[in-house]
Structure 1
């Protein structure tokens, strides 16, 4: 089957489906290795992995910018020719004319799209600028835009037509905290309006705050995918107790049946299904002086390290 053609029996609720998608470059380097990915419609899907893990190569295959060596992929359950007019994309950073205004740059983007009706160009450009919060800066030269404004203009270019799927490659890369917050809020707004958003990133914290689903890549291979809750659910929730009675607290936790009891600066253990309030009550009932009691749920970083034994940027 031609790459980009609909995959047989692909779920109608999926915006992206890949089956065995593989890319080998000359010299035998495998950039993406037999990727089986399912992105639900309506999700904000984080495509997560360190730099060089195959994220951008995967996106380029999805969009038909490079040909896969093996495997199949489908966007919106359609052939690529049918799907691409419904897909907006930002790949490897925005590129605009610095001496033109934001609006003028979008006019050139729109004119280059053979499927865009010229008669509605002004209206669509205005709507795209308004959607990303740049209406007031429409006449400002691009060279005077902040990094956050530049990323928002790039997203506006991807939204010049009605889009069912938006693919963003590292949309917060290089942004300061304010710009990062702007893009994060924009992605959530776009998703709330019904567009599926596929976001690649190497920043764990960004994916954790922005996404409903995620997939984790490592050296071209998929190591996990699912909802954010299911990914975190694979690792146990722990309890941490700040107490001067560490030995006694450890004894009580062990007696309750909590696992992996550890004594250090504090006392911690895996809850193993115990209600934290009952654990706290048992400690107090046994005369343990509890100065602090915290339930620690696994983060996406914990999940990644547990799956791969490695870490990467948490907050850039």
Structure 2
């Protein structure tokens, strides 16, 4: 399948000024294992970028390299237009991040944990700390549980507190690794709404996930990882438009219908009980119907279906994705 702006070696690099995240050949090996293999990310400023892939595809390792938590074996990257790690001191305070789950002091309350984090931030104004912390807790739905000790929080509440920590001060970039992990459906919807609000306020969001529903509802751009490689990267609308629709013929003679589809040049032709299907490509649907009638194949029904995201990503990776949530 040919994907718009898919990753190829000859693609020109977009302007650095227009990118919140850019990597060139970013790679990581652990002994003989290649965890991330020459990844070239291009995350536009102001986008909600869905960093998608099955578990174990290299998403978290890539994020850890972007944030300087893991040293890359090869390649380099920029965040907010600045080369890393050379400009980390100036860039990282402008970034909120959640990587591999939250970690807080268990004996402190949610409020006290955020106070400690905010006090450690040299760029945060202590005069506005109480207002900012209260606003962050309210935005993630923890205002009523602010005084509760962290060790008594559920997994979903802990994830909400971690999200609150990422938005204590205004951020130009949020990098979030599975931010809805552990949340119930209501909490998941609230986080999606929050991410949409943050993006509308001008921030860029890099959202690592394996949930297609998150991508469909909040993302403007998508990068797909598979076995350590970035196998596709494009605006979501272009990714959808790049996929050829599939024709479905309802007939009592599916084998004869499949023969006509093959003669027309359709690919991935298949038959089932009273049905033949094939990918249209550049073949007009009306030509398919005319050819079936000309071949005296009785047609009970005909439909053209655009592939969903799940089908698109399975075609890229050969693996299924979690479509729940």
Work out whether the TM-score is over 0.5.
yes
State whether structure 2 residue 52 is matched by structure 1 residue 44. no
Structure 1's 240 and 143: CA in aligned 2 closer, same or farther, altered over 3 A? farther
Structure 2 counterpart of 1:5: none
**How far apart are residue 294 of structure 1 and its match?**
4.7
Provide the secondary structure at the position in 2 that maps to 1:12: helix
What is the RMSD computed on CA atoms of the aligned residues? 3.3
**How far apart are residue 279 of structure 1 and its match?**
7.3
Structure 1's 295 and 190: CA in aligned 2 closer, same or farther, altered over 3 A? farther
Structure 2 counterpart of 1:240: 248
* Deviates further, 191-200 or 142-151: 142-151
Of residues 281, 305, 312 in structure 1, which corresponds to 2:314?
305
TM-score by length of 2: 0.80
Structure 1 counterpart of 2:157: 149
Structure 1 counterpart of 2:266: 259
**How far apart are residue 37 of structure 1 and its match?**
0.9
1:58-73 correspondence runs (5 A): 58-73=62-77
State whether structure 2 residue 135 is matched by structure 1 residue 130. no
TM-score by length of 1: 0.82
Of residues 22, 25, 31 in structure 1, which corresponds to 2:35?
31
- Kindly indicate whether the alpha-carbon contact (under 8 Å) linking 1:148 and 1:180 is maintained by their aligned counterparts in 2: no
Unaligned runs of at least 5 residues, structure 2: 1-12
**How far apart are residue 314 of structure 1 and its match?**
3.9
Alpha-carbon distance in 2 for matches of 1:229, 1:120: 40
Alpha-carbon distance in 2 for matches of 1:69, 1:276: 50
State whether structure 2 residue 238 is matched by structure 1 residue 230. yes
Structure 1's 270 and 183: CA in aligned 2 closer, same or farther, altered over 3 A? same
1:1-316 correspondence runs (5 A): 10-25=15-30, 27-78=31-82, 79-241=87-249, 243=250, 245-247=252-254, 250=257, 254=261, 257=264, 259-260=266-267, 261-265=269-273, 266-272=275-281, 288-290=299-301, 294-315=303-324
Provide the secondary structure at the position in 2 that maps to 1:194: coil
Unaligned runs of at least 5 residues, structure 1: 1-7
Alpha-carbon distance in 2 for matches of 1:95, 1:162: 21
Provide the secondary structure at the position in 2 that maps to 1:236: coil
Aligned positions, number: 305
Structure 1's 173 and 276: CA in aligned 2 closer, same or farther, altered over 3 A? farther
